């Protein structure tokens, strides 16, 4: 899923038990894998590939800058939406923590690519294993991801 969807789910989880930051971080992180298993659409990246056997190196060219801008915007929009939807003045930090933890497995894939060792190897194998093989068309993929995020928002509004 795209980062904003992960962030909304992480923020939603955080809003359910905002006084337990450790549980929020763990549940947010776990939610990433759970929803990656759902068939979805991801925007294509030009310079970063995270599939099996891919290698990335440190370099900054146009394609990489464009990818980083897109990812940065996606992540920032996700954090902002999570705060807007779920935070009260007292829970902003824990909502951001949930959103961050829910997005974290994706940047960790990139870190793994640069330096494939230790627990990152294990995490990468798990991530690729659980991630759906079904790639939706972007039209269905975008609308279904919006519908999914709205369903999450609705369910959490009921639970709180």
Nearest to 32 by CA among 63, 62, 5: 5
5 versus 91: smaller Cβ distance to Zn ion: 5
Q: How far is the CB of 80 from Zn ion (least distance, A)?
A: 20
Residue span binding Zn ion (CB under 5 A) among the ranges 92-100, 102-110, 135-143, 144-152: 102-110
Of 9, 16, 59, 66, nearest in space to 43 by CA: 66
**C-alpha span between 14 and 20 (Å, rounded):** 8
* Burial annotation 39-56 (CB, 10 A radius, 16+ → b, else e): ebbbeeeeebebeeeeeb
Min dist CB 81 to Zn ion, Å, is: 18
- Say whether residue 74 binds Zn ion (CB under 5 A): no
**For Zn ion, which stretch binds (CB under 5 A), given 7-15, 48-56, 71-79, 103-111?**
103-111
Q: Which is nearer to Zn ion, 87 or 99 (CB)?
A: 99
Cβ proximity to Zn ion, 36 vs 74, nearer residue:
36
Told to check if 36 binds Zn ion by CB under 5 A, we report yes
74 or 106: CB nearest Zn ion: 106
* Minimum distance from residue 19 beta carbon to Zn ion (Å): 28
Q: Considering the complex, what minimum distance in angstroms separates the CB of residue 101 from Zn ion?
A: 13
Distance CA 120, CA 82 (A): 27
How many CA within 13 A on the CB side of residue 55? Answer: 1
- In the complex, least distance from residue 154 CB atom to Zn ion, rounded to whole angstroms: 23
Q: Which residues bind Zn ion (CB under 5 A)?
A: 36, 106
């Amino acid at each position: 899923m795209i980062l904003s969807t992960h962030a909304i789910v992480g923020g939603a989880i955080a809003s359910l038990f905002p006084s337990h930051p450790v549980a929020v971080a763990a549940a947010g992180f776990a939610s990433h894998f759970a929803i990656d298993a759902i068939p979805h659409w991801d925007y294509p990246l030009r310079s970063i590939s995270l599939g099996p056997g891919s290698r990335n190196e440190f370099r900054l060219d146009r394609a990489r800058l464009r990818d980083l801008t897109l990812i940065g915007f996606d992540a920032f929009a996700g954090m902002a939406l999570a705060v807007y939807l779920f935070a009260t003045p007292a829970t902003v930090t824990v909502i951001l923590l949930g959103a961050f933890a829910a997005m974290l497995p994706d940047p960790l894939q990139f870190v793994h690519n640069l330096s494939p060792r230790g627990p990152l190897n294990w995490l990468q194998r798990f991530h690729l294993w659980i991630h759906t093989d079904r790639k939706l068309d972007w039209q269905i993929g975008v609308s279904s991801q919006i519908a999914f995020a709205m369903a999450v928002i609705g369910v959490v509004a009921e639970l709180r």
